[in-house]
Copies of this chain bind each other. A is one copy, B any other.
Amino acid sequence: MTEFSLADVDRHLTAHRADGLRDLGEFLSIPSVSAASAHRPDVRRAAEFLAERLRLVGLEDVAVLQTPGHPVVYGQWLHAPGRPTALVYGHYDVQPADPVELWTTPPFLPVERGGRLFARGAADDKGQVWMHLLTVEALLRTAGRLPLNLKFLIEGEEEVGSTHLKAFVTEERERLAADVVVISDSSLYAPNLPAIVYGLRGLCALELTVRGPARDLHSGEYGGAVQNPLHALAELLAGLHDRQGRIAVEGFYDDVCPLSAAERAAAARLPFDEEAYRRDLGVPETFGETGYTALERSTARPTVEVNGMWGGFLGEGSKTVIPSVAHAKLTCRLVPKQDPGRILDLVAHHLERHRPPGVRLEVALRGGSPATLAPLDSEWVRAAARALRAAFGADPVYTRMGGSIGVVPAFTQHLKAPVVLMGFGLADDHIHSPDESFDLGNYDRGQRALAAYWLDLGVARGT
């Protein structure tokens, strides 16, 4: 039986790099935008494309599994008896590409520029899913087998809250049973500074509709006599925060798990240049809840964020109108101990209580998932740290991530498996923004890290 050799894996990855990138380009060119019903066929097509690739690299029992929403792609390789089983989770759906006009090149026409691959989904998360595929392929082609048992669960609804995957995980807990869940949907802390993410914020969403007059009105004939729904919406949204950036919703902070002194000290030791951060973002100053650093605020403190608002005349020139209706889309990022349902109720209640005169409100709650904190003192995490150090030449830092991965609480609850988040993006990948891209150096190094991780887990833990 051929021995496992990281050197052989490395050679294989190098030799087949161009093929892998070409195929990834094909994957990225499918606009699998899960939020848009018009893209439903594309989402399906991406699932089928991915399933076909899973089969080609050598995974077995590959299936595109229907859910009430977008399908889940599953595959496994279970021929390492006595060795651990890892479940690899990722997603093949992507964020909408709007505003498309701000992209340098079209979002679904992948192109390499300056050592980066540009496309919607390049980093979040198709590119990182692809790294897992190529790593498995390299191990199977060079050693004929994997050093441990692997299951792949790649979903199509991560960007819309993993609504149906949570039920899927509950129902399929036996099929998905694993010793550890590994997720590559996060970032290095900085170039050449890998990170293991131990905290994720939770997420919940709502939509607010403000209804005033039954029809749009001439703002000359009626201006002053009736409430303008745009004024009412502005007042409601402005009332969600105080001028110090603190959330003004009564009870919002009640259950917030405070940052420990040790965590704050660890965060303070991370290399974080707030002036460089400010400059990169192009803002005159950073801003947020008083009493916390920008890093703390964006990872370990909750938020209420307006993601979109609109009403009235948005066209060229002017139209002197009082519109009948105004809209806003909001999401909250949650920290440990906050319950998404309770938070939505608090926000909805706050909006109703502060309803300005002359309008009616409609608040639609969109559900969500709680925050998670993973334990750091496990063999799974120590092995990940060794693998990252081997590939990147530096010890990883341990960080909390501001984003959310909706299904993680379901893994913890139903699979009882620890979750290891080792991702290979970078802050300047511009995920969810125009010109999303993925650093191809990290793409290469990340595949070495994953191969080293599987070998470490399988060989070291093999009996």
Q: Is the CB of A239 closer than 8 A to any CB of chain B?
A: yes
Q: Is the CB of A312 within 8 A of B309?
A: yes
Q: Is the CB of A203 within 8 A of B320?
A: yes
Q: Which of B231, B238, B331 contacts A231 (CB 8 A)?
A: B238
Q: Which of B220, B318, B326, B433 contacts A366 (CB 8 A)?
A: B318
Q: Is the CB of A230 within 8 A of B237?
A: yes
Q: Can you sample 25 A-B contacts with CB below 8 Å? A: A35-B318, A36-B315, A36-B317, A96-B317, A214-B282, A215-B430, A219-B303, A220-B333, A220-B401, A224-B289, A224-B298, A226-B281, A226-B294, A228-B305, A230-B309, A231-B238, A234-B234, A234-B237, A237-B238, A286-B358, A307-B312, A307-B322, A310-B311, A318-B329, A321-B433
Which among A102, A213, A433 has the highest number of chain B CB atoms within 10 Å?
A433
Q: In the complex, which residues of chain B have a beta carbon less than 8 angstroms from the beta carbon of A234?
A: 233-238, 306, 309
Q: Is the CB of A220 within 8 A of B283?
A: no
Q: In the complex, which residues of chain B have a beta carbon less than 8 angstroms from the beta carbon of A331?
A: 219, 318, 320
Separation in Å of the A320 CB from the closest CB of chain B?
5
Which among A320, A360, A435 has the highest number of chain B CB atoms within 10 Å?
A320
A326 to B328, CA, bound (A): 13
Separation in Å of the A290 CB from the closest CB of chain B?
11
Q: Is the CB of A220 within 8 A of B203?
A: yes
A364 to B235, CA, bound (A): 23
Separation in Å of the A205 CB from the closest CB of chain B?
5
Separation in Å of the A183 CB from the closest CB of chain B?
15
Chain A positions 209 through 222: 1 when the CB is less than 8 Å from some CB of chain B, otherwise 0:
00011111111111
A112 to B36, CA, bound (A): 39
Question: With A213-B282, A312-B307 in contact, is A222–B298 under 8 Å at CB?
Answer: yes
A221 to B425, CA, bound (A): 12
Separation in Å of the A223 CB from the closest CB of chain B?
4
Q: Is the CB of B238 within 8 A of A36?
A: no
Question: With A307-B318, A366-B318 in contact, is A403–B218 under 8 Å at CB?
Answer: yes
Q: Is the CB of A432 closer than 8 A to any CB of chain B?
A: yes
A323 to B283, CA, bound (A): 12
Residues of A within 8 A of B (CB): 34-37, 95-96, 98-99, 102, 160-161, 201, 203, 205, 212-228, 230-231, 233-241, 243, 245, 277, 281-289, 294-295, 297-298, 301-303, 305-323, 326-329, 331, 333, 356-360, 366, 401-404, 427, 430-435
Q: Is the CB of B227 within 8 A of A287?
A: yes
Q: Is the CB of B222 within 8 A of A315?
A: no
Separation in Å of the A322 CB from the closest CB of chain B?
7
Q: Is the CB of A223 within 8 A of B333?
A: yes
Question: With A319-B307, A321-B307 in contact, is A287–B358 under 8 Å at CB?
Answer: yes
Q: 9 tightest A-B contacts by CB?
A: A214-B282, A35-B317, A220-B403, A287-B358, A308-B312, A234-B237, A224-B297, A238-B238, A218-B432
Q: Is the CB of A283 within 8 A of B226?
A: yes
Q: Is the CB of A212 within 8 A of B283?
A: yes
Q: Which of B281, B320, B432, B433 contacts A432 (CB 8 A)?
A: B320
Q: Is the CB of B224 within 8 A of A303?
A: yes
A295 to B224, CA, bound (A): 9
Q: In the complex, which residues of chain B have a beta carbon less than 8 angstroms from the beta carbon of A215?
A: 102, 281-282, 430, 433-435
Separation in Å of the A24 CB from the closest CB of chain B?
21
Q: In the complex, which residues of chain B have a beta carbon less than 8 angstroms from the beta carbon of A35?
A: 315-319
Q: In the complex, which residues of chain B have a beta carbon less than 8 angstroms from the beta carbon of A236?
A: 234
Q: In the complex, which residues of chain B have a beta carbon less than 8 angstroms from the beta carbon of A317?
A: 34-36, 96, 160
Q: Is the CB of B314 within 8 A of A308?
A: yes
With A221-B401, A224-B302, A312-B329 given, can you name 15 additional A-B contacts, CB distance below 8 Å? A37-B316, A213-B283, A220-B402, A224-B301, A227-B288, A228-B306, A230-B308, A234-B234, A243-B356, A284-B360, A286-B358, A307-B322, A308-B311, A308-B312, A309-B309
Separation in Å of the A396 CB from the closest CB of chain B?
18
Q: Is the CB of A309 within 8 A of B310?
A: yes
Q: In the complex, which residues of chain B have a beta carbon less than 8 angstroms from the beta carbon of A243?
A: 356
A226 to B288, CA, bound (A): 6
A341 to B214, CA, bound (A): 33
Separation in Å of the A356 CB from the closest CB of chain B?
8
Q: Is the CB of A433 within 8 A of B313?
A: no
A435 to B216, CA, bound (A): 10
